Chains A and B, each alone.
Chain A
Amino acid sequence: MAKFKCNICGQTFEADKMPDKCPICQADSSHIEEVHEPGAEPKAKKKGLDTSGNVYTICYAAVMVIIVAFLLAFVSSSLSSIQNANVENDTKGQILTALGYDKATVNVGEVYEQNVKDSIWDKESMRMMPYEGKFKTSYGSAIKSGELHVFTATAADGSKAYVIPVTGRGLWGGLWGYIAIDQNKQTVLGTYFYHEGETAGLGALIGDRPFQEQFIGKPLFAEGVEGIALTVVKNGTPKKGEYEIDGVTGATLTSNGVAGMIQDGLGAYITFINYK
């Protein structure tokens, strides 16, 4: 015998098995549910682990967290040297891309070694000092602390060039880039931009060559504009001059970020750029 309860009339009754209809109010069997005697069922049903106890839950969570933490720490520390080498190589590749090399086809490490020299522009003495420290993969904090890195280099077409690292903020996160300028510090030879996490297919297009190639041959300065003139404007607006570059459609904030990065980034180097 089992006990059943009808949810329509609220009565309980006994039967051998689930009845088709409630014997009291004739409600359909879907409204009837079996009632378990308190204390009778749960113990008999239990087998194996008791996974609902407090102690078990806490231990489980603790063990899981420790295992995952060790796993992640192990993976991260065992791979970090390879990853750092990759990042360093990629940064050198980005600098070479700004200089007009194709980083996919050349041996990045070798070409960088032969053609690029890492230097620091000293604002006080207006002189270029060779940089002896470890190769940096990001320049935001260095520029902020007054350590103005300039890469003196030979561009892909054989001319002398300077590469200036710049950093800024896009819509979702950081932006950075390398701007190669010619020896006279008047014209852009090439650029490379990348981002932490701009929207794929929109803002992320600034990381693609078609956007970056628009900058090639553009002037840094223009008559009637104070400071750095080179900037990015909304795609489709009429241009005031050569120095305005088309932004990415649908990614106005990212494009503004690039404009800000160029203006502020090159602005920080203005003593270097104006020095003849």
Chain B
Amino acid sequence: MKLFSDENKAAFSSPLNLNNPVTVQVLGICSALAVTSQLKPAIIMGLSVTVITAMSNLVISLLRKTIPNRIRIIVQLVVVAALVTIVSQLLKAFVYDVSVQLSVYVGLIITNCILMGRLEAFAMQNGPWASTLDGIGNGLGYAWVLVVVGFVRELFGSGKLFDYQVIPDSWYVANGGWYMNNGMMVMPAMSLIIVGCVIWAHRSINKEEK
């Protein structure tokens, strides 16, 4: 068995594009809405979900032959919740600043539907290595959509990127210019519209490949 067989490569790369969890399967929209008003939280959230999806996929994949069918969702939930709790405890003990940054996201990670979706659809049927790759792929597929939405919202909503002012101060109406931040961008509803636009663009680009 090769480490990077075609199937394993597909498990990793298809969620980045053709089988993207957000734009194609429309999973995890709720958290995409909550954390994308700025780039930094969007990236933190994307990376956290990547790590947790990979780890829980690995654990469930190792256990998959022993899990009783009737309580499999409960088992998956327990694994995810236990993992997230342990990771957040470790962060709190050794990198306190990061854990303060992550505090809000912990709950959002546990309830992220991408996690449950991947565990149920992939890790329950496939081996540990393929499952880990699938987890990383899906996490990154989720992350790039978040980053795109976060980029648009932070740039047009507050004229900044990573909290750094990119639109010159002199452009603003307050300083005699012509530019104004779009207050709509800061509102959560706008992220749904942007996600919609991303889905639209993504689907029309990939129209022929389906």
On A, residues with C-beta under 8 Å from B are 48-49, 51-52, 56-57, 60-61, 64-65, 68, 71-72, 75-76, 79, 82-83, 86-87, 89-90, 196-202, 204, 249-250
Cα–Cα distance between A196 and B188 once the two chains are bound (Å): 20
Cα–Cα distance between A172 and B68 once the two chains are bound (Å): 37
> Would you call B71 an interface residue if the criterion is a C-beta within 8 Å of the partner chain's C-beta atoms?
yes
Determine whether the beta carbon of B92 is less than 8 Å from that of A49: no
Known contacts A202-B186, A250-B186, A60 near B68 by CB under 8 Å: yes
Cα–Cα distance between A121 and B87 once the two chains are bound (Å): 41
Cα–Cα distance between A247 and B35 once the two chains are bound (Å): 20
Stretch from B1-9, B93-101, B112-120, B128-136 that touches the partner: B93-101
Would you list the 9 A-B pairs with minimal beta carbon distance, nearest first? Answer: A201-B37, A57-B68, A86-B96, A79-B93, A200-B41, A201-B38, A250-B186, A82-B93, A200-B35
**Number of residues on chain B facing chain A (CB within 8 A):** 36
Determine whether the beta carbon of A200 is less than 8 Å from that of B67: no
Determine whether the beta carbon of B93 is less than 8 Å from that of A199: no
A–B pairs, 22, beta carbons within 8 Å: A52-B69, A56-B68, A64-B75, A68-B78, A72-B82, A72-B85, A75-B89, A79-B92, A79-B93, A82-B93, A82-B94, A83-B89, A83-B92, A196-B103, A197-B104, A199-B104, A200-B104, A201-B35, A201-B154, A204-B41, A249-B183, A250-B183
On B, residues with C-beta under 8 Å from A are 34-38, 41, 45, 65-71, 74-75, 78, 82, 85-86, 89-90, 92-94, 96, 100, 103-105, 107, 154, 183, 186-188
Cα–Cα distance between A196 and B103 once the two chains are bound (Å): 8
Determine whether the beta carbon of B74 is less than 8 Å from that of A61: yes
Other A-B pairs, 11, CB within 8 Å; known A89-B96, A198-B104: A52-B69, A57-B71, A60-B68, A60-B71, A72-B86, A75-B89, A86-B93, A86-B96, A197-B104, A201-B36, A249-B186
Known contacts A60-B71, A64-B78, A200-B104, A49 near B89 by CB under 8 Å: no
Cβ contacts under 8 Å, B93 to chain A: 79, 82-83, 86
User: CB-nearest residue of chain A relative to B82?
Assistant: A68
Cα–Cα distance between A198 and B105 once the two chains are bound (Å): 11
Cα–Cα distance between A61 and B107 once the two chains are bound (Å): 23
Cα–Cα distance between A205 and B86 once the two chains are bound (Å): 27
Cβ contacts under 8 Å, B89 to chain A: 75-76, 79, 83
User: CB-nearest residue of chain A relative to B103?
Assistant: A197
Cβ contacts under 8 Å, A57 to chain B: 68, 70-71
Cβ contacts under 8 Å, B69 to chain A: 51-52
Cβ contacts under 8 Å, B34 to chain A: 199-200
User: CB-nearest residue of chain A relative to B36?
Assistant: A201
User: CB-nearest residue of chain B relative to A89?
Assistant: B96
Cα–Cα distance between A204 and B187 once the two chains are bound (Å): 14
User: CB-nearest residue of chain A relative to B107?
Assistant: A197
Cβ contacts under 8 Å, A68 to chain B: 78, 82
User: CB-nearest residue of chain B relative to A251?
Assistant: B186
Determine whether the beta carbon of A51 is less than 8 Å from that of B92: no
Cα–Cα distance between A52 and B41 once the two chains are bound (Å): 42
Of B65, B86, B154, the contact of A71 (CB 8 Å cutoff): B86
Give A32 Cβ to nearest chain B Cβ, in Å: 26
Cβ contacts under 8 Å, B103 to chain A: 196-197
Determine whether the beta carbon of B82 is less than 8 Å from that of A86: no
Cβ contacts under 8 Å, A52 to chain B: 68-70
Cα–Cα distance between A202 and B191 once the two chains are bound (Å): 13
Give B78 Cβ to nearest chain A Cβ, in Å: 6
Give A9 Cβ to nearest chain B Cβ, in Å: 33
Cβ contacts under 8 Å, B85 to chain A: 72, 75
Determine whether the beta carbon of B86 is less than 8 Å from that of A60: no
Cα–Cα distance between A96 and B89 once the two chains are bound (Å): 26
Cβ contacts under 8 Å, B66 to chain A: 49, 51, 60
Interface centre among A49, A68, A75, A201 (most CB of B within 10 A): A201
Cα–Cα distance between A250 and B92 once the two chains are bound (Å): 30
User: CB-nearest residue of chain A relative to B150?
Assistant: A201
